[in-house]
Structure 1
Amino acid sequence: MLFVRFLFSCLLISFHCQCAITTFVNITVDDQFGDPSTHSQISYMPPDAWSIAPNCSHCPDNLSLFPAKAYNRTWHDGAVRPGTVRSASLQFYGKLHVFDVILHSHPHFRKCSMIFFIDGVRMGSYSSELNSAQDQWMYDVVVFQNTSLAMTKHQLLIQSGQENGPDTIILLDYIMYS
């Protein structure tokens, strides 16, 4: 009987260790190449309104991004004029971090602005005024995170632009979940 208890205890400890190990795996979803574990892609709406970089269609020649500093050397450019909206969405599990390339100086855009929805509920926003006094580009910037979500399937929606909002630019680099 003592041996059976010992085996049961070992099995229980092994199970708990296995669960603890599998909970903390980070999955990085590239803006262009998608989720390496599920092979799902980020959905961009409207699809033809997003530019796939490293060729920034809105950037003058003197504002060059360094593709090597972006994850997998890519990002999606979702520049928005007043009265238009762009969105990007992804299904994921658990904790979430969204990373962008942030522009601080541009002759046509004055703002970087996004709203984040999870499962249809507004969960946060990111906004920064472009300021030419700062470095032109910042890479790997966390623009949104939520680490308190249940380990179930969720839907992320990133919205750039508003009906009556200003010109805004978003350079989505990658999303990480665990």
Structure 2
Amino acid sequence: MLLSRILGIFILCSLTTATKISSRRNVTIDDQFGDELTQVVPRYMPPDRWNKGGMNLPPAVLARPNASLAHRKTWHDSTHLVGGPTATVNFGFTGVSIYVYCIVVNMPPGPSFNTFANYKFSIDGNIVGEYTHEAQHAPDYLYGTPVYANTTLQNAYHNFSIIIDSTKRSVLILFDYAVYTMM
């Protein structure tokens, strides 16, 4: 009797745990179309320092990744010049994890083209990580590059920012999308 009771409790706990794990859902935040649940679009600051990337790029745009390889065929890009204003991407989400993806320029299309990647990440006002990449010359672009991941968040609302503010070198960012896990 005691054994069957213990077995029953074990099965109940296992089913409860499995239900909690299976109730998690990944939600994508696209650079242009926003959060697939809330439709809230990331905020780009300062707005005049950001460009929409994708199909039909004007001739003056030097970074020309293959749009068909970007998430939903779009991205937002900005070049931060040393001494210039800090560039940021900001969005909110409620969840327990966050994964951020960029297109990384890996080979400069010209001798004066900047390809350095140096991004800081902030959650709820605290710097929580940094990503740096130097050009390697092949392939030209790295698509779907995970630049930040955090799987240890409390299940709560979080304010997330990518911050581009290098004081040593100019920085290029092509933000593609983020995925958060909600409970």
Q: Same fold (TM over 0.5)?
A: yes
RMSD between aligned alpha carbons? 2.3
Aligned residues: 167
Amino acid at match of 2:20: C
Indicate if the aligned counterparts of 2:44 and 2:90 stay in contact, CA closer than 8 A: yes
Partner of 1:140: 144
CA distance in 1, matches of 2:128, 2:58: 29
Partner of 1:127: 132
Shift of 1:161: 2.4
Shift of 1:18: 3.9
Question: Between the two proteins, what is the percent identity of the paired residues?
Answer: 26
Partner of 2:6: none
Partner of 2:26: 26
Q: Secondary structure at the match of 2:172?
A: coil
Distance 1:43 1:57, change over 3 A: farther
Q: Secondary structure at the match of 2:36?
A: coil
Structure 1 segments unaligned to the other structure (5+ residues): 1-8
Shift of 1:154: 0.8
- Pick the structure with more strand per residue: 2
CA distance in 1, matches of 2:127, 2:59: 30
Match runs of 1:141-160 below 5 Å = 141-160=145-164
Partner of 2:175: 172
* Greater than 6 Å deviation, 4+ residue runs: 9-14
Match runs of 1:50-61 below 5 Å = 50-54=50-54, 55=57, 59-60=61-62
Distance 1:44 1:97, change over 3 A: same
Partner of 1:87: 88
TM (norm. structure 1) is 0.83
TM (norm. structure 2) is 0.81
Q: Secondary structure at the match of 1:79?
A: strand
